[in-house]
């Protein structure tokens, strides 16, 4: 899983974590994704359908599955980060991080004063009481910051230097869109490829997990070869839609 990716793994290029992104606020869908073999499962609270009231049920359903559970919170928001971790997430993905100050806020929100580095999270791990054990994510939750704007790209060295940041996660569509490339991807323009590669290389230099959000299998293979070690391989809605279309084509004899 993601939590096993340490500095030695990244430098040696041995371990790779493949994950899935879930946007459907249904515990059955999330549970099926988590049991499919992925190293991590992300619940998307920024663009997905899940609301604050859905999160306790979704995270409760994922406890006991072999996957590492992360939540993409809506923003670098102190209460949202703490709540996701209190409810049982192993880590948070923090979108639209623009600078080192916002990255430091995310770390402070995720870690207790006794953590290393120390944070400002208040004590309230709900599932520690429900399960009767102290969950492992309490001591060292994953803090994954997204690099997806020109400001973040320019400040990526400073962001990577913030103690407690575990991963730099490239949001390739937003990075391209906000940088004036429209909805092009790295295969359309070498400058987009260069920017993604720079973030991956920066993460490696700082002994962080280099992560890339991928939209197809070619992208997964390409960026694994280019050094990424945390690769989101698909979206639940896309995967379900493709499965339905494939099954219909197989059953009907229609190759389309």
Q: Which residues are catalytic?
A: 47
List CB contacts of 80: < 8 A, sequence separation 6 or more. 45, 73, 74
The first and second tokens of residue 75, run together, are: 């923003």
Task: Say whether 123 sits in a helix, a strand or coil.
Answer: coil
CA atoms within 13 A on the CB side of 180: 3
Q: What is the phi/psi pair of residue 213, to 5°?
A: -85, 120
Task: Tell me whether residue 32 is exposed, middle or buried, using C-beta atoms within 10 angstroms of its C-beta: 0 to 12, 13 to 18, 19 or more.
Answer: middle
Residues 226 and 219: their CA atoms lie apart, in Å, by 10
Q: Does a cis peptide bond (omega within 30 degrees of 0) precede residue 101?
A: no
- Tally of CB atoms within 10 A around 244: 10
What tokens appear for 223 in the block? 């960026």
Give the integer Cα–Cα distance in Å for 175 and 181: 9
């Amino acid at each position: 899983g993601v939590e096993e990716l340490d500095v030695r793994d990244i430098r040696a290029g041995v371990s790779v974590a493949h994950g899935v992104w879930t946007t459907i606020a249904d515990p059955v869908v999330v549970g099926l994704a988590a049991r499919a073999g992925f190293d991590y499962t992300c619940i998307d609270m920024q663009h997905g359908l899940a609301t604050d009231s859905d999160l306790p049920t979704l995270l409760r359903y994922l406890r006991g599955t072999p996957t590492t559970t992360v939540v993409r919170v809506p923003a670098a928001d102190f209460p949202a980060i703490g709540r996701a971790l209190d409810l049982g997430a192993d880590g948070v993905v923090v979108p639209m991080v623009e600078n080192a100050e916002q990255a430091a806020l995310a770390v402070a929100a995720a870690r207790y004063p006794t953590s290393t580095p120390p944070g400002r999270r208040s004590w309230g791990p709900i599932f520690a009481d429900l399960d009767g054990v102290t969950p492992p994510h309490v001591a060292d939750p994953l803090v994954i910051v997204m690099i997806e704007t020109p400001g973040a790209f320019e400040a990526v060295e400073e962001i990577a230097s913030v103690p407690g940041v575990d991963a730099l996660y490239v949001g390739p569509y937003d990075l391209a869109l906000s940088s004036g490339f429209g909805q092009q991807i790295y295969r359309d323009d070498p400058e987009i490829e260069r920017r993604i590669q720079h973030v991956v290389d920066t993460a490696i230099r700082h002994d962080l997990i280099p992560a890339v959000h991928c939209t197809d299998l070619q992208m997964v293979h390409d960026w694994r070869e280019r050094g990424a070690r945390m690769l989101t391989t698909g979206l639940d809605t896309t995967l379900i839609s493709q499965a339905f279309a494939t099954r219909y084509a197989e059953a009907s004899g229609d190759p389309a």
